[in-house]
Structure 1
Amino acid sequence: MISVGYHQLYLTMLKTLRRTISTTPCVSRSKRLKMAGSEALPTKKVAQAPTRVVITSEEVDKLIAQKKKLINPPLGDKFWTKVPVDDVWVSKYYPPKHYSLQECITMHRQSCCPAMFDNEDGVVHVNLDLCMKTAKKTKFTHSYNGNILLPHRFDTGKPKRKILALSASPDELDVAKSHGVEMAGSTQLIAQIKRDEIVLEEEGIEVVIATADILQQLLTIKDNLPLFPSKKLLSTGYDMDTMAHLYTYGIPYQTTNIKDDPMVSKLYAPIGRLNMPMDNLEENWNTWREHLNGIRSTKGPVVLGGKVECKPSFESFLLQVTERSQLLDDNEDDEEEVMDEVGGN
C-alpha cells in the first residue's frame, strides 16, 4: 500500500466529490419479526456472565507469540525508528503514525467543517484497546463496566437513563428528587412493585439506586428490578447524593470482548464534543485513562491504545497512549510467568 499524505488526500477527495451522506432507514424489531413470520416474544434477562475467563497455558503461549509477532515485525527493532524521507512510501516498511490528542482533534475539525461533513459539534470517541489480564496469567477479566463522571459534561447524544431511588429516609429521597430521578420511594413503593401495581419495565426504569437501610426489603422484589443495587457499581451505600449525582450525570460504559482473544477487549469512550475547548477534551480524556488504569491492582496499564474517531467522518487517528517498550516488557513478563506456572505443574 502506498501512502501519499493520506489526510490531505482525504480532505481533497471530500472537497472534490462533495459526497452526500445518507442513512439507512431503521426497521423496528416488531416489523422485522412480522416480515419473518414470527410474533414478538417477551424478553427475559439472563444471568450475568462470569467475571473471569480461564484458558490453558498452551493457549496463553499461542496468544503471546501472536502478539509478539505483531509488536516485533520481520524487519526487527529498527522498524520502529524508521522515518520516511519522501512524500511517497510503502507503508508496510514503516511504523504506523501515532498522534497526540490535540493533533487528532485538529484533523477531525478540518474534515467536519461546514464545507464537508458540517458536523462541527460532533461527539468525539476514543476506540480503546483494554488489557484484561489478572494476577494469574491464565485467567482474564471477562469485562469492565461501570459509570464515570467527567470534569466537563456534554450531551453524548444518548437518551437520559431513568432512575429509581429507594430509601427508608425521607431526607435521602428528597436529595434524590433534587437530582431529577424519575421515581423515588420507600416501603410503600416496594409494596406496589411487589403487587405489580407498578411495573418498572413499562416505566422504562434502567437503574436502581438504594441506601443500605432498605436493601433487606429489596430482596422481596429482586426479580422485578432491572439490576439489583451493588457496591461494586456504586449503586448502594449511605450517601444518596453521591449515587444520584453519579447515575444522573455519569456516562455508563461496557467493554466488548474480542473473539478468540481474551487478553484484550474494546471500549468506545466518548470524551466530548468537537467544538469544546481543547483543554476540556484533554481533561476528559485523562479522566477516562486514569479511571480505567485504576480498575485493577496488577502491574501495567489497562489502556493499551486507541483511535480517535468522530462520526460521520471515516477517518480514525491512532492515539499515542502506551510506549512500545512497555508493551514488549509486559509480553516478556507474560511469557516468563506462564513458563514458571507450566514448570511448577
Structure 2
Amino acid sequence: MFLNSIKQFSTIVQNHVNVNHILSQSVKSIQVRNYAARKGTRDRKAKKKVKAEVVKVGFVPHNQRNKLKLLAQREPLKFDDSWKRNPTDDVYVAKYYKWVVYPFAEAVKCHQETHSPEMYNKPNANLHVTIELNMQGEKKTRFVDNFTSVVKVPYNFDHGEERTIVVFSKNPDEQNEAITAGATLSGGSDLIKQIQNGDVSLQDFQYCIAHPNILPELVQLRGLMKKKFPNPKMGTLDVNLGKVVDKFLNGVKYQAVKDDYEKEFGCIKTVIGSLDMDIKHLEENFSVLINDVNSMKPRRPGTFIDRCILWSPPSQEVLKVDHAVFLKELNSKGSQNVFEKQEDYDKEEEEEKGERVAL
C-alpha cells in the first residue's frame, strides 16, 4: 500500500511539470504589437465616449439675462390678421376676428368723445399716430436703414418742442426774413468767423439752414457741422429761407426705426395735431405725413406702409385707420430720386465713420 501511494504522488508531480512546460511554451508564442490601432477603430471608440457639448456664451450682464429669454419667447411684432374672419355684429371677441378699420374722420370723433369733459376732460390732447413699415429692401437680404425727416404740414399746431435754427446768408434782408419766420440766429460772414473763433457753438442749434450765395464761405465749417451741413436734398439749402425756417420750426418731425431682431419691421411714432383742431385739418396733416413717409419706399413690389394707428393719451384706446385712400402713387422718376436720396444718406454715413476712424 505504501508503494501505491508513492506511485500516485509521482504521477501528480509529473503532471504538474508537464503543465508548467506547456504554459511556458504558450507564453513564448504570444504576439506583442507596438504600433497604434487603425484610425477607424479610434473613431469608433471616440464616438462611444462623446458627451453633450456645452455651448459657451459670452459674458451677459445680469440685468440683460432675463431680457434675452423674453426676446426668444416674444410674439412677432409684424401684425397680420388677414386670415381671420370679419365681425358679423357689434359684439364679438376681438382676438378671433379682424381688427376693424375706421375711416380717419370716424376714428378722430371716437377719440374726441373719450376726451370730452364728461370722461377724460382733455379736449386739446395731442393726436398721435403710429405707422408700421415693411423695411424690406430691393433685395431680400437688405433692409431700409433708419431715417429721420421733417415734413411741412398745412396746419400748424403746438408740438411742444423747442427747436433752435441758425441761418446763413449774405443778404441782410434774407437774414431778417429768417428771423421773422422764427430762426434763433441769422448772419453772414461775420457769423462764420464767430463760430470759427468759438464765440458761437453749433451744438446749440438743431438745424443749420443756408442760402446758396454763402455756400463757398460756409464750406469752412463743414468739419464742424458734419450732418448738419446744409444740403438741398435734405431741404436745408434753399433760396426761400422764410419757408424753410417755417418748415423746420413748425413741421412734423418723425424717425423710422427698425427692430434689432425683426429687421423687416419698422415703426414711426409722431404727433399730427390736437383733438380740438378741425377734423379736415387733421386729415390733411395726416395725408401729407404718410405721403412723405411713403416717398422713402424702396424700388420693390408691395406696400411700404403696413398699418396706421391713431391714439391719444391718457386713453388706451387705439384705432386702426384706412391710410391707403390718402396715398398718392409715385411716378418712376420720383421713386428714383428717393432711392438716390437714400444712397446719398448712406454715403454721408460712411464719410462720417471714416472721419471717426481718422480721429
Do the structures match in fold with TM over 0.5? yes
Give the alignment of 1:190-339 within 5 angstroms. 190-201=192-203, 204-225=204-225, 227-296=228-297, 298=299, 299-322=301-324
Contact in 1 for aligned 2:168/2:214 (Cα 8 Å): yes
Matched, 1:141 2:147: no
The corresponding residue for 1:189 is 191
Contact in 1 for aligned 2:144/2:298 (Cα 8 Å): no
How far residue 197 of structure 1 moved from its aligned partner, in angstroms, is 1.4
Distance 1:274 1:195 in 2: 47
How far residue 171 of structure 1 moved from its aligned partner, in angstroms, is 3.2
SS in 2 for 1:71: coil
Distance 1:313 1:83 in 2: 24
Alignment partner for residue 87 of structure 2, among 68, 76, 83? 83
Give the alignment of 1:39-54 within 5 angstroms. none
SS in 1 for 2:228: coil
Distance 2:182 2:320 in 1: 39
The corresponding residue for 1:107 is 110
Amino acid at match of 2:195: I
Distance 1:129 1:72 in 2: 14
Amino acid at match of 2:118: A
Amino acid at match of 1:270: V
SS in 2 for 1:135: coil
- Taking structure 1 as reference, are residues 200 and 214 closer, same or farther at Cα in structure 2, changes over 3 Å only? same
Q: How many residues align?
A: 248
Amino acid at match of 1:97: V
How far residue 270 of structure 1 moved from its aligned partner, in angstroms, is 1.6
Alignment partner for residue 132 of structure 1, among 117, 135, 156? 135
The corresponding residue for 2:35 is none
The corresponding residue for 2:173 is 171
User: Larger % of helix: which?
Assistant: 2
Task: Name the TM-score, length of structure 1 as normaliser.
Answer: 0.65
Amino acid at match of 2:212: A
Distance 2:293 2:103 in 1: 19
Distance 1:91 1:245 in 2: 43
How far residue 139 of structure 1 moved from its aligned partner, in angstroms, is 1.5
Gaps of 5+ in 1: 1-65, 324-345
Contact in 1 for aligned 2:130/2:269 (Cα 8 Å): yes
Task: Name the TM-score, length of structure 2 as normaliser.
Answer: 0.63
Contact in 2 for aligned 1:120/1:275 (Cα 8 Å): yes
Matched, 1:92 2:95: yes
How far residue 274 of structure 1 moved from its aligned partner, in angstroms, is 0.5
User: Larger % of strand: which?
Assistant: 1
Q: Which is further off, 122-131 or 211-220?
A: 211-220
Gaps of 5+ in 2: 1-75, 326-359
Distance 2:89 2:285 in 1: 36
SS in 2 for 1:234: coil
Contact in 2 for aligned 1:84/1:94 (Cα 8 Å): no
Contact in 2 for aligned 1:142/1:262 (Cα 8 Å): no
- Taking structure 1 as reference, are residues 103 and 241 closer, same or farther at Cα in structure 2, changes over 3 Å only? same
Amino acid at match of 1:196: G
Tell me the C-alpha RMSD between the 2 structures: 2.5
1:18-58, CA deviations, whole angstroms, 9 ceiling, x for partnerless residues? xxxxxxxxxxxxxxxxxxxxxxxxxxxxxxxxxxxxxxxxx
- Taking structure 1 as reference, are residues 155 and 101 closer, same or farther at Cα in structure 2, changes over 3 Å only? same
SS in 2 for 1:178: helix
- Taking structure 1 as reference, are residues 243 and 72 closer, same or farther at Cα in structure 2, changes over 3 Å only? closer
Contact in 2 for aligned 1:304/1:322 (Cα 8 Å): no
> Percent of counterpart pairs with the same letter?
25
Amino acid at match of 2:157: F
The corresponding residue for 1:337 is none
